[in-house]
Structure 1
């Protein structure tokens, strides 16, 4: 291992074709098993999750929206699968690369902006100056609001990538110290690794939820 970050390099390839990115589609192999018995426990659980997400996203979009929450539920599912699969040994974590996360965030944000500026131009201009701003501060507020709007896809992508990298790096760092430790310390290390793995599983769920919720909130602003 040349350096610590080489864990995240897509290194597996056959005939110059990168196989690591195929981990993104591993979820597709798992999903059909849910539908073998209708309604199976998995199916009932997944229905409850999607219904809860649908109701929550519908409230976030608001009454003026088209209540089309399917894209955000699909986004949540895709990121959740990839985050979870990345926790398994020898499975490439595609969400730890900005190539993946920016590909999800940038087109969404761009489509919201284009839709908003074409259909609700006045509403979009009103968003640049918060209500109750003193006239002298208005130019500064326009600059600040514009910058905060432009960096949104970047913050969405970097948040997900950084969270995925941080947890995996910590697990790798602690795992590398294993061979040099004595038996009592090794037991402590295993307990710490299990606790971290549980935390990473929670982070995998939370980050996919945060990504989908923020995307929903950005879409609600242009209505």
Structure 2
């Protein structure tokens, strides 16, 4: 599902065996390169035939990030917006109180959040990134066009999670090549298994299959 040329991207880091994504509202691992990757990919300007001519370089954000209330309140986020991105927070409570940060809004569902992002992207010509948590990822599987996954391998099975995302359904999504990943994010990405202490991880891209591919 797309809105014009807008990509709706589910971006997550998850364990390879259990699809765990968090524990006690925090990340159960520290992988600096993955944090840098998320920061860069969700903040950067993406160029196409129209953005080169019309993009306002001095605007404070180009892409939108969508997250659930629990992710917004998590230890990494600390109830504050991710800078240089428009932040959309999903809560089923329309009266949920957020501090009046700039470039931040409240949505009552994933579809409300995507509709808000659609309107924003008409001006910025950017991308929409869905960043969790587990329930939001589950809902986003129906609407996202791409999945940027950091697959984390834990040879000693030491990572314990209490929040999980759905496995990627390979009947709906096809894994892209590394060259296709780099073309999609418009920059070089480390290829293959990377090491961080005893953890192994890799950067992957999945693309929604066209109807005639399924």
TM-score interval w.r.t. the shorter chain?
under 0.3
Normalized per residue, which structure has more strand? 2
TM-score by length of 2: 0.24
Which of the two has higher C-alpha Rg? Answer: 1
- TM-score (normalised: structure 1): 0.23
